[in-house]
Structure 1
């Protein structure tokens, strides 16, 4: 494998010699770089790739993500992705999750830690679901005083001010290693 520095748009190889791989595209005549990185020509598989030093982690359809709720709207939540299939990511890519079909007043609130499943990539937006039982809020605090909460069936209760709030809790709520790291 040969490694040469490449910039976006640089010619990497002829399409007769190599197929496009990671971070490359076919312009009809040549295989070109789509990002900054090192050229990697796999002579056995006949594939041209660009190895980027900091790969942006984009979840694929079916991946389970853990993230922090960044915004709450009337029928959806926006989540900043922190983990993809249990592996940490620093890309801070966001996804949206529809909450329209859930019969809860508050599915999740800003700064709640949630687990979601990626449904699709549509129009440059990553869409996720929270509707399966193992998906939902993994960690939250009281919305009134910010103290610790405990689970009461499908709701949470503050240990300090006794405020009771409704959330879409995951079946893994409170017993995940991820939650213990954040307390």
Structure 2
């Protein structure tokens, strides 16, 4: 690599001078690299980019993502992003989604497939929302027996053991072709 070689987290530019471009993010003070590559400052568009042989898929604000819930905390869920606007990604980037404002105890559980809308990049973290009707759980199984579930208003019911559980279901829940859905 050249003298422009940078690594994830390296400072590229100040946010007063440049905006974050491809493979870069704004940490609130500086534009930093999101991947290994070469620094590319575009003075015309005032963007700081990272050239990488393989373009990493980092969602932007407004993108609809489909991912797998990796962790559930009291007021948020962490989601490993699998699809961005219907296109598969192998970057395994994660986002967090606040769940405090929803009046559901179990918005989603680990290994549920969910669809979210990216709302911002802040302090190196991708933030998402689950509040719109088309956003929420797309696929899940019974947490008690692992059986198939069917939707019941704002809950799911297992067809094997009849266990009922709350979830924030997407209006597209149960549609097996969810990868082709657009926001």
Change (3 A) 1:93 1:48: closer
Question: TM-score scaled to structure 1, two decimals?
Answer: 0.73
- Preserved contact between residue 79 and residue 94 of structure 2 (Cα < 8 Å): yes
2:5 aligned to which of 8, 25, 39: 8
Question: TM-score scaled to structure 2, two decimals?
Answer: 0.73
**1:147 CA drift (Å):** 0.9
**1:53 CA drift (Å):** 2.4
**1:51 CA drift (Å):** 4.5
In the alignment, structure 2 segments of 5+ residues that lack a partner are 7-18, 25-32
Aligned CA-pair RMSD: 3.1
Q: Compare relative contact order (CA 8 Å, sep 6+) and give the higher one, 1 or 2.
A: 2
Q: What CA distance in whole angstroms lies between the structure 1 residues aligned with 2:120 and 2:49?
A: 25
In the alignment, structure 1 segments of 5+ residues that lack a partner are 10-19, 25-32
Residue equivalent to 2:93: 93
Q: What CA distance in whole angstroms lies between the structure 2 residues aligned with 1:48 and 1:165?
A: 46
Residue equivalent to 1:172: 172
Greater Cα radius of gyration, structure 1 or 2: 1
Residue equivalent to 2:60: 60
Residue equivalent to 1:139: 139
Q: What CA distance in whole angstroms lies between the structure 2 residues aligned with 1:172 and 1:102?
A: 19
Residue equivalent to 2:104: 104
Change (3 A) 1:158 1:58: same
